[in-house]
Amino acid sequence: MKFPTPHTLEQISKIIDCQFLGDANFQVLGMNEIHVVEAGDIVFVDHPKYYDKALESAATIVLINKEVACPEGKALLISDDPFRDFNKLTQHFKPFVPSISAISTSAKIGKNTIIQPNSFIGNNVVIGDNCTIHSNVSIYDDTVIGNHVTIHAGTVLGASAFYYKNRPEGFDQLKSSGRVVIKDHVDIGALCTIDKGVTADTTIGEGSKLDNQIQVGHDTVIGKKCLIASQVGIAGCVIIEDEVTIWGQVGITSGITIGKKAVISAQSGVSKSLEGGKSYFGTPADDFRSKYKEIASIRMIPEILEKLKIK
């Protein structure tokens, strides 16, 4: 997320009431998660395991819970609770604004687009030309939808990321300030849920088709011309490259990449990145050749045990 106007390091430190290391006038342009940070961004880190990754990232401002040596060309914000203060910044720069109508007056809706009764269109939503939004669709603030898009009944675009910190008093949610972006010629079935990014975009690529009852987690990027069947669950920060086919009830863990033109068979569990151009099935998912060899070997176990019996 980029701030509406650049801020100084000192200004940011006052918003969250913390100390800083670096030039008081050091320019701060926005805030992002580690996988999408750019120069001028704040990134937060609250565990020693990830200190080096954050300090060596593209982010030039690190919100951290320990005073460490400041890398050259960067600045530090020293906080006793970076997670809390990252939320404070989100609340400051991207506060929740309640809607006062079913279709916000700030929404921009293109030519020949049809919005069926009982749908909700939030603040600053952009919908292109020749789209059809069926009844009871909820499109949260800042969502961007291209041209020739169809969204079926009951689908929700832009709910918050499923991202929590476990505290002694309970789970604390990381506030989401990102968007959902739907490209041209996308079809989305009934009762799908596509969560917005924490600080960036969850994206569905041009020409992709989603069946009913599909969950897409925060910051996931789905490429062009993908086919995803019913009841697929995709966790956050997944990259699905172009022309991937995913059949029903597949579960995909967070932070992995599915290569171009991969095919994943129904009810598979994907726990690691998969190379493109191959077909996969099973839990954990593996390519057909390897999986069939594994199954054949397992089927031989009773025969081997029988031969090993002591008479």
Residues tagged active-site:
218
Residue of 228, 127, 232, 136 whose CA lies nearest to 184: 127
Angle at which helices 82-93 and 9-16 pack, to 10 degrees? 110
Instruction: Give dist(CA 59, CA 77) in Å, integer.
Output: 12
CA distance linking residue 103 with residue 146, whole number of Å: 18
By CB atoms closer than 10 A (0-12, 13-18, 19+), residue 209 is middle
What is the Cα–Cα distance from 128 to 184, expressed in whole angstroms?
8
Q: Is 307 helix (H, G, I), strand (E, B) or coil?
A: helix
305 is written with which tokens?
């045990």
